[in-house]
């Protein structure tokens, strides 16, 4: 007999593994006993004839479960015959059960059961028992996991059947469509079958009645939690291979057999239903309309949580875990699922099992996600009293004392509440950090250590101060301060980030064995790469449609003399002047608005719901753009509006303005408002560039220099997936493709730390600082003793002021720059190293106490601004921009190594390079000038030849009586006709007008001004 390579063969393979039979000859109503305590595979083979299509459940398995577990309650139903479909009491019970599943979802019904008169409460599932509870364990073993082949599900078309249906106690959990690549069909065909042939109005496919639908072939798995016909959104459910999509080769079977051999075992599926699967309900703040979404974990989310929990069970508290998961990969759910399960982790240390952690502290700097994480945790914990939200000073301390199991706070609030925490004895903590690099510097670590560490000992020592030698008190304080800098031994750290920096990798990453050169690299504990996320379409590739924009301008001298200026400073000022000039802002704002209307909205991106973000270099620029875009949107008679986002108040146009005063609504409403019409543009100044999760963002217009992590985080706001989102777009006025490529390459696959920071560099820095003789060893000792002893300012300042005087008189300007630079590097490096190296160094600690306070008092070398006044001496003659070719930026398929924390410091004062204003402008215009050698000739031709003929156009003259936008449209049409006639002989200008949008706009603006009355 030959091998069955058909779809049916795959079906048999799965069912045979799960049940021990092929599942083809199962008699209806003949229910077997479940395997004892899930022995073997733990599944029963169901009969398709036992499936009740009207109620969407396997009635035979359901009543077998109730008979075995709740016979008394079942008796009260007074069923004449549990297998008789016409029995009225049976029908009432099934109607009630089906209605509850339809209303609450099968997940909630399994967790909480149902109430039904006259029997009272029915449990529909027995959860994982606590250790030592024999009764609960016996009931848990009676759960019935079944799988049915060729499940005929339809009331109307009985020929329609699913390949497999998976049930627990008769309630549907998962459906399967199987394909086999050997018969030229793949997972894509299975997805298409669900979309095309599985009517979402069928009872089984209604929202929440089934937890998940799987499309499976021998290479890949896809999943969907809600069928919506053609709009059904299937996501990959694969392990990943070579840091990308798909699954690795399996030497022991099919690439996809992990699905039925590992994840959907009774224990594995029970874990998912108890700890991951959920229905999330959100309520619209204005309309009150509720939206329900069913969530099933993705493979990498399950994998990271299970691996972390297993490691905690093995090693207990005190370890560090760096989790590098790409932006848009569902980190908030991963964090919530991990946090609530960390509370229940136990270890057996020979005297019975004990909880590893007393409390879990979730630290996030994403205010938008702060509430989301808390809600997710609460849903699983089921008891709101176990969760505390630390918003104010003292909350964290109070929650720990009250025994709150999970405490959520933002990284901004965390240092404040840490100051209020008293001694917490020998408790153990899990600290889960969202976007680790944002909030885990040495100082935050020190504050955390002080709050959560061995506080009782310090407190006890303080009581004895009067009886102890003052020097002992200082030394004890010094030791306590150094100990507080260390990563806590009574806490485990779980640090999540998409873009780990060198400090993050060294602090939380796993050290690898030293290489031949003695270098110790660090790697993440778990990673889900940007490469895999993009290939799996969990996120979009923000580099696929990237258009850099070059600016061209000409500056002219408006003073008769030719003064000298510092070349470097002057060019910086000139660039800032040009890019913030009202004309430049107006031109770029129009390009953005036109592009969004003509290329994004006209194309129906994201089903017509697309939004855009404008990234600006500062608050002043953001407000300029907001006003320019608002004016142009009105001129275009566009139905849409812009929102501006920046922090605090800012003076603009002689008055104080804020987000609320400009937008007309409170700042806290911005994230909600941008989702609603008429708002389509979000103009940002350092807000919403990290941690902002908005799938409707389609286009980004960048007018800010970006590099490194900032570039990745900013552009990644576009990558969030949406069922109707197939691409995204970046128009970049400031950066080039090389800069962006360099930034993204570090985080495309796994990011490794090339080597650890060398502590000897601190010895070198200290030797150099000591050698400058700004302070003496006695002053360092004296200052540290005063500071640690709680001295007042009037005792500290004389020491600092003496050091400042030595700095000013003993060092020349270059030496001052060098000393101050090295002092800053010493403080920064020591703050970091003190938390990760095992040893402590009192000399470093004392010096850091002095330098941290001294640096802010050291005057910077006086630098005369040799470019002062240049902006008053010049004017802008012309400005235009040119879009370059649309490009897809490709990244190298390789892991990246990033260098350790830099420990070099110092330097010297830069020497000014003076030059005449005329030469500076000539050089500047050569770099950023127009494309034409004879600009004056072009301007004269436009003014004298073209403008008069456009002004004479009858349609344009008539349109002038209407709106400015109508007049401009008629003007542009007239201009096009005139250009075709007059400039065919001037190919250089004509070619630019036809091919270059920004030049066309530049000429149009000039002619429109010439023709305005």
pLDDT at position 856 over 60: yes
Give the tens place of pLDDT for each residue, 279-323: 888 777 667 788 899 999 999 999 999 999 999 999 999 899 999
Answer whether 847's CB lies under 8 Å from 481's CB.
no
Domains in the chain, CATH or no CATH each:
7-279 (no CATH), 299-346+354-528 (3.40.50.300), 546-751+885-897+913-926 (3.40.50.300), 935-1011 (no CATH)
Which residues, at least 6 apart from 16, have a Cβ–Cβ distance to it below 8 Å? 22, 23
Which residues, at least 6 apart from 67, have a Cβ–Cβ distance to it below 8 Å? 74, 82
pLDDT at position 417 over 50: no
* pLDDT confidence of residue 183: 79
Host H or E run for residue 406: strand 406-410
Q: State the average pLDDT for the chain.
A: 82
Listed range (75-79, 427-431, 468-472, 880-884) with the worst mean pLDDT = 468-472
For residue 707, the 8-state DSSP code is -
Tokens of 561: 């003399």
Listed range (181-195, 448-462, 984-998) with the worst mean pLDDT = 448-462
Give the tens place of pLDDT for each residue, 239-257: 999 999 999 999 999 999 9
Listed range (158-172, 180-194, 295-309, 360-374) with the worst mean pLDDT = 360-374
Name residue 699's beta-bridge partners: 612, 729
Give the tens place of pLDDT for each residue, 772-783: 999 999 999 999
pLDDT at position 422 over 50: no
Region 108-123 average pLDDT? 92
Residue among 578, 574, 582, 575 at smallest CA distance from 653? 582
* pLDDT confidence of residue 659: 95
Looking up tokens 């250590």, which residue turns up?
Answer: 449
pLDDT at position 462 over 60: no
Tokens of 238: 């694969």
Which residues, at least 6 apart from 156, have a Cβ–Cβ distance to it below 8 Å? none
Answer whether 648's CB lies under 8 Å from 658's CB.
yes
* pLDDT confidence of residue 805: 94
**Residue 1: count of CB within 10 angstroms of its CB:** 3
Angle between helices 470-485 and 455-463 (to 10 degrees): 170
pLDDT at position 439 over 50: no
Report the distance separating Cα 288 and Cα 275, nearest Å.
29
Q: What pTM, to 2 d.p., does this model score? A: 0.81
* pLDDT confidence of residue 738: 85
Region 90-101 average pLDDT? 94
Host H or E run for residue 527: strand 526-528
Report the distance separating Cα 75 and Cα 903, nearest Å.
77
Residue 832 pLDDT level (bands cut at 50, 70, 90): confident
* pLDDT confidence of residue 631: 94
* pLDDT confidence of residue 419: 46
* pLDDT confidence of residue 358: 86
Tokens of 699: 């286009």
Report the helix count and the strand count for the chain, using DSSP H and E.
Answer: 39, 37
Answer whether 1003's CB lies under 8 Å from 975's CB.
yes
* pLDDT confidence of residue 456: 30
Tokens of 1008: 């429109």
**% of the chain with per-residue pLDDT over 90:** 40
- Strands in 526-528's sheet, in edge-to-edge order, are 387-389, 406-410, 359-364, 429-434, 491-497, 320-325, 526-528
Report the distance separating Cα 659 and Cα 650, nearest Å.
9
Tokens of 743: 């930034």
Name residue 58's beta-bridge partners: 51
**Residue 309: count of CB within 10 angstroms of its CB:** 18
* pLDDT confidence of residue 457: 34
pLDDT at position 238 over 80: yes
Q: Is 28 helix (H, G, I), strand (E, B) or coil?
A: coil
Give the tens place of pLDDT for each residue, 660-705: 999 999 998 999 999 999 999 999 998 888 778 899 999 999 999 9
Residue 751 pLDDT level (bands cut at 50, 70, 90): confident
For residue 536, the 8-state DSSP code is T
Tokens of 524: 């993440």
Tokens of 442: 């040495």
Greater pLDDT, 586 or 967: 586
Answer whether 14's CB lies under 8 Å from 177's CB.
no
* pLDDT confidence of residue 219: 94
Answer whether 838's CB lies under 8 Å from 791's CB.
no
Residue 761 pLDDT level (bands cut at 50, 70, 90): confident
Answer whether 748's CB lies under 8 Å from 717's CB.
no
Region 121-134 average pLDDT? 90
Name residue 323's beta-bridge partners: 496, 526
pLDDT at position 476 over 90: no
- Strands in 43-46's sheet, in edge-to-edge order, are 43-46, 145-152, 161-168, 171-178, 212-216, 221-224, 235-236
Listed range (220-234, 382-396, 638-652, 824-838) with the worst mean pLDDT = 382-396
Region 475-486 average pLDDT? 69
Residue 876 pLDDT level (bands cut at 50, 70, 90): low
**% of the chain with per-residue pLDDT over 70:** 79
Give the tens place of pLDDT for each residue, 504-550: 888 888 988 988 888 888 899 999 999 999 999 889 999 999 988 87
Report the distance separating Cα 808 and Cα 804, nearest Å.
6
pLDDT at position 920 over 60: no
* pLDDT confidence of residue 464: 38
Region 735-752 average pLDDT? 87
Residue among 311, 257, 357, 868 at smallest CA distance from 573? 868
Greater pLDDT, 368 or 278: 278
* pLDDT confidence of residue 465: 36
Phi, then psi, of 320 in degrees rounded to 5: -125, 140
* pLDDT confidence of residue 423: 45
Greater pLDDT, 573 or 40: 573
* pLDDT confidence of residue 451: 46
Q: Where are the beta strands (DSSP E) in 685-728?
A: 697-703
Angle, CA 334 vertex, CA 331 and CA 339 arms, to 5°: 125
* pLDDT confidence of residue 864: 60
């Amino acid at each position: 007999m030959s091998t069955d390579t058909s779809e049916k063969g795959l079906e048999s393979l799965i069912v045979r593994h799960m049940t021990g039979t092929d599942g083809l000859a199962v008699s209806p109503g003949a229910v077997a006993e479940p395997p004892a305590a899930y022995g073997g595979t733990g599944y029963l083979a169901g009969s398709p004839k036992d499936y009740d299509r009207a109620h969407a459940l396997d009635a035979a398995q359901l009543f077998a479960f109730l008979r075995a577990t709740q016979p008394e309650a079942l008796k009260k139903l007074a069923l004449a015959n549990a297998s008789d479909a016409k029995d009225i009491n049976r029908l009432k019970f099934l109607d009630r059960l089906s209605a509850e599943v339809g209303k609450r979802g099968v997940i909630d019904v399994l967790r909480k059961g149902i109430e039904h008169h006259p029997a009272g409460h029915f449990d529909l599932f027995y959860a994982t028992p606590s250790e030592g509870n024999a009764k609960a364990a016996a009931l848990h073993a009676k759960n019935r996991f079944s799988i049915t082949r060729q499940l005929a599900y339809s009331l109307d078309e009985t020929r329609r059947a699913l390949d497999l249906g998976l049930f627990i106690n008769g309630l549907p959990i998962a459906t399967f469509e199987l394909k086999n690549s050997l018969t030229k069909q793949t997972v894509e065909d299975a997805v298409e079958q669900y979309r095309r042939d599985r009517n979402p109005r069928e009872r089984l496919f209604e929202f929440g009645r089934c937890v998940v639908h799987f499309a499976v072939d021998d290479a890949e798995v896809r999943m969907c939690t809600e069928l919506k016909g053609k709009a059904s959104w299937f996501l990959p459910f694969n392990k990943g291979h070579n840091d990308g999509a798909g699954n690795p080769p399996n030497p022991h079977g099919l690439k996809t057999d992990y699905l039925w051999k590992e994840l959907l075992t009774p224990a594995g599926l029970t874990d998912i239903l108890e700890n991951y699967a959920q229905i999330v309900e959100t309520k619209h703040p204005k309309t009150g309309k509720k939206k329900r979404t069913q969530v099933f974990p993705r493979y990498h989310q399950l994998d990271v949580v299970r691996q972390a929990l297993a490691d905690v069970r093995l090693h207990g508290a005190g370890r560090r875990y760096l989790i590098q998961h790409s932006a848009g990969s569902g980190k908030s759910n991963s964090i919530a699922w991990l946090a609530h399960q960390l509370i229940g982790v136990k270890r057996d240390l020979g005297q019975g099992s004990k909880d590893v952690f007393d409390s879990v502290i979730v630290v996030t700097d994403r205010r938008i996600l702060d509430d989301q994480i808390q809600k997710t945790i609460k849903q699983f914990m089921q008891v709101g009293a176990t969760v505390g939200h630390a918003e104010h000073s003292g909350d964290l301390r109070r929650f720990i004392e009250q025994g709150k199991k999970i405490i959520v706070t933002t990284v901004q609030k965390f240092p404040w509440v840490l100051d209020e925490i008293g001694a917490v004895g020998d408790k153990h903590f899990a600290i889960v950090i969202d976007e680790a690099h944002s909030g885990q510097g040495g100082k935050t670590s020190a504050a955390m250590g002080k709050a959560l560490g061995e506080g009782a000992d310090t407190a006890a020592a303080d009581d004895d101060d009067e009886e102890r030698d003052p020097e002992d008190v200082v030394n004890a304080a010094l030791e306590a301060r150094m100990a507080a800098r260390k990563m806590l031994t009574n806490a485990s750290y779980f640090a999540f980030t998409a873009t780990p920096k060198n400090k993050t990798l060294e602090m939380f990453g796993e050290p690898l064995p030293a290489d031949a050169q003695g270098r110790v690299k660090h790697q993440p504990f778990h990673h889900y790469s940007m490469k895999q996320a993009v290939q799996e379409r969990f996120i979009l590739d923000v580099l696929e449609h990237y258009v850099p924009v070059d600016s061209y301008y000409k500056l002219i001298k408006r003073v008769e003399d030719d003064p000298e200026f510092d070349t470097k400073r002057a060019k910086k000022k000139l660039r800032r002047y040009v890019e913030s000039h009202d004309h430049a802002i107006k031109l770029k704002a129009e390009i953005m608005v036109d592009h969004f209307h003509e290329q994004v909205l006209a194309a129906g991106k994201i089903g017509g719901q697309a939004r855009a973000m404008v990234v600006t270099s500062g608050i002043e620029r953001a407000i300029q753009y907001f006003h320019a875009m608002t004016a142009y949107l009105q001129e275009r008679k566009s139905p849409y509006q812009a929102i501006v986002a920046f922090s605090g108040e800012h003076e603009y146009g002689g008055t104080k303005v804020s987000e609320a005063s400009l937008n007309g609504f409170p700042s806290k409403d911005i994230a909600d408002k941008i989702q609603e019409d008429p708002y389509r543009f979000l103009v940002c100044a350092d807000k919403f560039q990290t941690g902002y999760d908005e799938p409707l963002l389609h286009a980004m217009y960048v007018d800010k220099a970006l590099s490194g992590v900032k570039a990745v985080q900013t552009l990644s706001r576009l990558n969030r997936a949406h069922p109707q989102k197939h691409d995204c777009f970046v128009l970049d006025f400031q950066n080039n493709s090389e800069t962006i490529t360099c930034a993204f390459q570090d985080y495309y696959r796994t990011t490794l730390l090339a080597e650890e920071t060398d502590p000897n560099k601190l010895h070198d820095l200290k030797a150099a600082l000591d050698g400058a003789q700004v302070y003496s060893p006695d002053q360092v000792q004296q200052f540290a003793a005063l500071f640690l002893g709680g001295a007042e300012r009037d005792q500290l300042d004389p020491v600092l002021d003496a050091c400042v005087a030595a700095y000013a008189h003993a060092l020349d300007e270059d030496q001052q720059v060098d000393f101050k630079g090295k002092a800053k590097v010493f403080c920064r490096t020591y703050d970091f190293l003190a938390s990760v190296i095992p040893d402590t160094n009192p000399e470093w600690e004392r010096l850091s106490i002095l330098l941290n306070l001294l640096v802010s008092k050291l005057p910077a070398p006086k630098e005369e601004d040799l470019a002062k006044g240049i902006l008053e001496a010049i004017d802008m003659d012309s400005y235009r921009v040119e879009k370059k070719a649309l490009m897809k930026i490709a990244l190298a398929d390789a892991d990246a190594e990033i260098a350790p924390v830099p420990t070099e410091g110092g330097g010297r004062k830069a020497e000014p390079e003076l030059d005449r204003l005329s030469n500076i402008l000539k050089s500047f215009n050569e770099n950023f000038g127009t494309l034409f050698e004879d600009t004056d000739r072009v301007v004269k031709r436009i003014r004298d030849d073209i403008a008069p003929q456009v002004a004479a156009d009858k349609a344009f003259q008539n349109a002038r009586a209407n709106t400015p936008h109508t007049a401009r449209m008629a003007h542009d049409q007239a201009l096009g006709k005139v250009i075709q006639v007059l400039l065919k002989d001037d190919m250089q200008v004509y070619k630019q007008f036809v091919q270059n949008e920004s030049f066309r706009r530049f000429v149009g603006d000039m002619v429109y001004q010439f023709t305005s009355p």
